[in-house]
Amino acid sequence: MNIGNGFSVSLQHADKDTCQIKVTWDHGHVTTNEGVKKANDVWEIKKEDCPDHRCIHFTLVPEGNSLNQFTISVKAPFKDFSIINIYGDNVINDSWVPYTDIDKYQYHIVGQNVKQYSFGDVVRELRWMNDKLYIFEKGKAIKPIPYEGNLLILFDSRENLRSKLERTSMNMLNAELKVSFSLSNSNSLEFSIKDSPYRPKQIGNGRLIITGNNHIPVKFTGVLKLLKLEEPELEPIEISFDEENGSYTLPEDIRPWGKTIVIGRTRGRICPALVDLTREMDGAFRANNRENAISSIKEKLTKSTLGDNLWKRILGWFDRSQKEDIPASSILELYCTAQDYKALICLVFQLFVKCTDDNEREILKEKLKIFSSDLAFQWYWLQPYLSGIFSQLNTFISDPMVPAVQDIYIKWSMTYKGEDMIKLLSALNDPEQYMSNIVQCFNDVLSLFTDWLKDLCVSSLTESYGIPSNDIIVDLAETIIKIPKKIYPIELKKDDYIDSNQEYLGEEVALFFNTYNEPNRSGNEQWLFKRVNAVVAHIKKGVDLFTVKDEIRRSIIFCSKSSNPHFIIALNNKLSH
């Protein structure tokens, strides 16, 4: 809009509740319903009189032509600092912000310096310089930023936040990144960034509310999904938020289901929870139920065979967790599988033989890396068992005639053409010929599977935060996984520096890693070599990392990802001895 020359807006005074603005226009007069006019064209505006606290509306009336008056908006200069959530509400102290929504939250800084803010081990300041707002760290200006924008701007990147969450070595329930803003008016705002911070709570009469930190109800109106615990192949039922009673209502249709899993429509906000219309479940019941279920699943795994009900449920939950984007750690069948390397190999084998081409196998690799991240292990930990895959799978194949094994045989037969394929398929009706053919079938399939699994292990070993591994590091990783007998030591550059570390992770974790102490190392080097030595012990079958404490596994993963080149070189050199 062209309003001509001679328009001027200048700030005379501002605090958090009131401002005085001088507004002049040479071509007419200025008015507003949101303030009181004082002397010398100065308007006094109170925040409480503004329908929108972030802008003030002025009407400009041209001299001699009042019918052509028009309204403009001026940014409200009330001194203010706030962070707004996806519902337009202010973030309050001791609340949780979902990691997945960090770029949907908005910060607003007007006329007020943030003395400092911190996230994890990073401490920063926001300062005005030459009428621009800058982020300062360690006394140096890093970058200019707008005075309002999405919250991620203050934290650089998702990868940065992800690495700091994983640095805690805690699982989804316990990992949080504390954020603190200290303002120049002595006020502060403190909250935490978390994965899936909100938890459904059953409150009677078939109703659900969503809670946040300290079990306090929070505003959440997204769609929830209900999954039958015993039948993962059953499609979920969706339920919507009831604005009238401020909760969700569980449908009577799920009463026969018994134990039911509640999830969000999308990942990252709702922590999956168990509900049951037939009973109330307090904390003690949930803990006891979890303990008994884990014990039962682990016992069944030792006796399980391809195609039995347990494996159908495990495969069903893997597929469902991928389809609905459910954290695998929330499903006890998957949680128990991840603690048994033989069961893991069996799971991956069954998923591999379902794939029909290389593209599907590549997609499966990416799914499995998400799966391992959820369950706190890395695929390269299977390295000690890659040379004898059949012996690991043999315990799960009790009868070559079961449908699950025959399905593998049929897919293998169909890789042939013409009469060869017909001949192989017809052997299904000839037990003696089938038993003869199944040996060649498994030789072929396991050869392909082993090569593919080794590639998955290499990809797992070279995972890192940020910069991808260079060719030298990838070559070292491939040698460690694929041809360990050809490992040879390489020299570290003397000026290489390991800049990652972790805070104290508790006595049990410290005692475990102290077993793998490295002589003549200190600081960050000692931290890294303790974790490398633990992996070496695992590869030499001196310890089983799949069964150790969750925080120990996550600490090794963080070390591997945050210092990947150093980690792989150190691992290579240790294994060369």
The answer to whether residue 402 scores a pLDDT higher than 80 is yes
Confidence (pLDDT) at 553: 96
What pLDDT score was predicted for residue 330? 93
Cα 292 to Cα 168, 287, 332, 520, distances in angstroms: 28, 9, 11, 46
**Alpha-carbon distance 343 to 306, whole Å?**
11
Average pLDDT, the chain: 92
Query: Pick the residue with more confidence: 492 or 398?
Result: 398
Flag whether pLDDT at 500 surpasses 80.
no
Instruction: Give yes or no for a contact between 248 and 239, defined as CB atoms under 8 angstroms apart.
Output: yes
Averaged over 45-58, what is the pLDDT?
89
Q: Mean pLDDT throughout 20-49?
A: 92
What local confidence, expressed as pLDDT, does residue 3 receive? 61
Residue owning tokens 């999830």:
263
For tokens 């992800």, the residue is 162
Q: Do 107 and 78 contact (CB within 8 A), yes or no? A: no
pLDDT at 491 over 90: no
pLDDT of residue 102: 95
Q: What is the band of 111 on the pLDDT scale with cuts at 50, 70, 90?
A: low
Does 295 have pLDDT greater than 60?
yes
Q: What is the pLDDT of residue 314?
A: 97
Give me the mean pLDDT over the 240-255 stretch: 95
With bands split at pLDDT 50, 70 and 90, how would you rate the model's confidence at 495?
low
Using CB atoms within 10 A of its CB, is residue 340 exposed (0-12), middle (13-18) or buried (19+)? middle
pLDDT value at 10 more than 90: no
β 95-98/188-194 pair status: parallel
Could you tell me how many helices (H) and strands (E) the chain has, helices first?
15, 24
CA–chain centroid gap for 291, Å, is 25
Lowest average pLDDT, out of 3-12, 272-281, 447-456, 461-470, goes to 3-12
Confidence band (pLDDT; 50, 70, 90) for 534? Answer: very high
For range 382-405, the mean pLDDT: 90
> Helices in 395-470 by DSSP H: which ranges?
403-413, 418-426, 431-461
Q: What's the confidence (pLDDT) of residue 128?
A: 80
Q: What is the pLDDT of residue 1?
A: 47
Decide if pLDDT at 192 tops 50.
yes
pLDDT value for 522: 81
β partners of residue 7: 25
* 101 pLDDT more than 90: yes
Burial class of residue 149, CB neighbours in 10 A (0-12, 13-18, 19+): middle
Torsion of CA 450, 454, 455, 461, to 10 degrees: 160
Can you give the pLDDT at residue 113?
Answer: 66
What's the pLDDT at 86? 94
Q: What is the percent of the chain where pLDDT is above 90?
A: 72
Give the residue-averaged pLDDT of 386-409. Answer: 90
pLDDT tens sequence across 369-382: 999 999 999 999 99
* Distance separating alpha carbons of residues 454 and 483, to the nearest angstrom: 10
Task: Please give the share of the chain, as a percent, with pLDDT higher than 70.
Answer: 97
Q: What is the mean predicted confidence (pLDDT) over 288-302?
A: 94
What pLDDT is recorded for position 219? 95
Confidence of residue 494 (pLDDT cuts 50, 70, 90): low
* Most confident option among 58-72, 358-372, 397-411: 358-372
- Cα separation values, 418 from 56, 163, 353, 424, 429, Å: 79, 53, 22, 10, 18
Instruction: Collect contacts of 448-451 with beta carbons under 8 A, ≥24 apart.
Output: 449/349, 449/352, 449/353, 449/389, 450/386, 450/389
Q: Which of 24-33, 106-115, 363-372 has the lowest mean pLDDT?
A: 106-115
